[in-house]
Structure 1
């Protein structure tokens, strides 16, 4: 049995290399850029009006002769002499011969004569060519995570696809004779299966939009065949249950027969002690405990950082130091990951910490990591938390 620190180190040393893929802008949302994106155009590509108002060829008087108008999208070009003006709308191209735009609220018009209510400075309300970005410069750098604004920005530059880091394909294999799908009648001795949808939801939060699901009863041959199939179809495999030492826990033996290298089995932690992490070629297997809270805790501590690393994000298993809101007694021979709430810059331990219970996990926004030992934490003590 190894320590949490050792387990994290072993996993970090075995993370598969990131792969690159070309995706359309919308499909690339939440992905990480694998290459710099260079703008082929200036933005704006022409002198652009920032206001609804009047484009002026300025002269000494506050009165101007109106000679026409330009709407956003008009492609015809106009030339103004000193003392002439045109009505113009936000986003429209400003003629080269104009040198300011006065907003409409500060003007009056009588018989095609425009009168300004105040003086105006050169280039007021004109967006210059390339104000936002110049042609042939970096629009977004490698390593940028593409959010809605980034997608819109790139689309505005005429870009339709980008090179990003590919999310790994992930499979979830659930084991257990006692499991029944929600929506079916619950017979005596059975429980509803929740780990698969829980892990799917966690994967969605990690940017994995779809995954492959597999179910198997507690039978060695079926377990082995299902794992073999899942390994062929996925880069990362999450196995829920069947990894402990009971008579009907067949996952470890099946992995051994399939020649999956065991990187480690069992971690000195609570919950999640019977965690197994294995590797075959460039594929990782996380055999998670069957108890829901233990399974989800292991996902956040060990699986999620791997997914982020493969997807191009730099932050790995990062914990932060925060103050605990109350006194807390620790009496444990294993490291603990406690469901906790982080609010107003303080951490509070929640109730129902058993590995089978999700009711307070549903209220948690972090895991509080406490090293093994017998000690007292006083209110205000610094503790390590993992945001989830």
Structure 2
């Protein structure tokens, strides 16, 4: 059995980033850049109007003759004198001679002339060429996550393809004779299987949307056979249950018989002690506890950073924040505790229902309070470290 810190170090050391691929910008949501992107153009590529109104040469003059029009998409470079203006619309080309745009709400129109009732400051309402970015400037550094806004920005620069890190192929294997799929009739001695649905949802929060779920009965032969193709076809394998020391816990033995190297087994923590971590070639295996709260806790602590490492993220772990404790904590276990909690801007409250089988408190928690293994008690008002999970 190892400490949490050592377990984290072993996971990090074995979670190398995947290879790269070129992908359409339109399909890049949730991927991580594997290259630095430079802008092929300036944005905007010309001086644009930020308002519907009139473009003119700023002076003490308030009355102007309207001598032209500039709509979005036009490139009419109307020559202007000091007493002349051009009707202009948002996003349209600002003539070279004009330096200011007055919004139409501040103008009185009389035929082909205007009177500016409220004079703007010089250079107002004009977006200069390269205001957002200049040609050859860095758009995004490598290891940047592609968001909807990032896709929009790349598209407006005319970029259609980018190089990203591949997303890992992830599979979940669920063990347990007692498990029944939600929606089916629940007979005596059976419980609904929830871990696979929960883990799929947790994976979706970091961009892994396609996950194959497999099930297997509690037998060594069946578990060993089920694992063979799963280990070959996936980059990360999550196993739910069957990893403790009961008579029907066959996962560890089945993994070893399939050539998976054990990197550690059991962690000095609560919940989530009975976890196996291993690898076969480049495939990582996390055999998680069957108890739901233990399984989800270990996902956040160990699986989450491993998946993000594979995807090319620069920051892989959950962030850490500090808040003042609203209730006392006693730790007489000698283990690192991960306690379900609710935090706000100043404080944090430990929730009832900390048992490894309980998801009701996890469902309303927005953080996990970390209590180090060598800390026996923490009094109310003390600052504690929290891992946000909201």
Number of the residue aligned with 1:183: 183
Aligned to 2:8: 8
2:300 is matched with 300
CA–CA distance in structure 1, aligned partners of residues 120 and 172 of structure 2? 66
Determine the structure 2 residue equivalent to 1:32: 32
**1:62-77 matched pairs, under 5 angstroms:** 62-77=62-77
Aligned to 2:332, what secondary structure does the other structure show?
strand
In structure 1, how many angstroms separate the alpha carbons of the residues matched to 2:342 and 2:334?
24
CA shift digits 1:71-90 (9 cap, x unpaired): 21224443334422221111
User: Deviations along 1:280-326, whole A, 9 cap, x unmatched?
Assistant: 11111000011111111111111101112222223344544432111
Equivalent residue, structure 2, for 1:227: 227
Whether the aligned pair in 2 keeps the contact of 1:169 and 1:234 (CA below 8 Å) is yes
CA distance in 1 between partners of 2:104 and 2:306 (Å) = 56
Matches within 5 A, 1:1-388: 1-57=1-57, 61-119=61-119, 122-317=122-317, 319-372=320-373, 375-388=376-389
| Alignment root-mean-square deviation, CA | 1.9
After TM superposition, what 4+ stretches of structure 1 lie above 6 angstroms from structure 2? none
1:33 Cα deviation from its structure 2 partner: 1.9
Q: CA deviation at 1:144?
A: 2.2
- How far residue 121 of structure 1 moved from its aligned partner, in angstroms, is 5.1
User: Per the alignment, do residues 154 and 221 of structure 1 end up closer, same or farther by CA in structure 2, a change over 3 Å counting?
Assistant: same
> Per the alignment, in what secondary structure is the counterpart of residue 18 of structure 2?
coil
State the alpha-carbon separation in 2 of the partners of residues 58 and 8 from structure 1.
63
Residues 155-182 of structure 1, C-alpha deviations (whole Å, 9 max, x = no match): 1111223222222111100011111000
The separation in 2 between residues aligned to 1:336 and 1:239, in whole angstroms, is 22
The CA distance in 2 between the partners of 1:234 and 1:384, in whole Å, is 34
Aligned length: 388
Q: Which residues of structure 2 form unaligned runs of 5+?
A: none
When structure 1 is superposed on structure 2, of 360-369 and 378-387 the one drifting more is 378-387
Q: TM-score, normalised by structure 2?
A: 0.94
Residues 352, 360 of structure 1: 8 Å contact kept: yes
Instruction: State the shift of 1:57 in Å.
Output: 4.4
Whole-angstrom distance in 2 between the partners of 1:121 and 1:339: 55
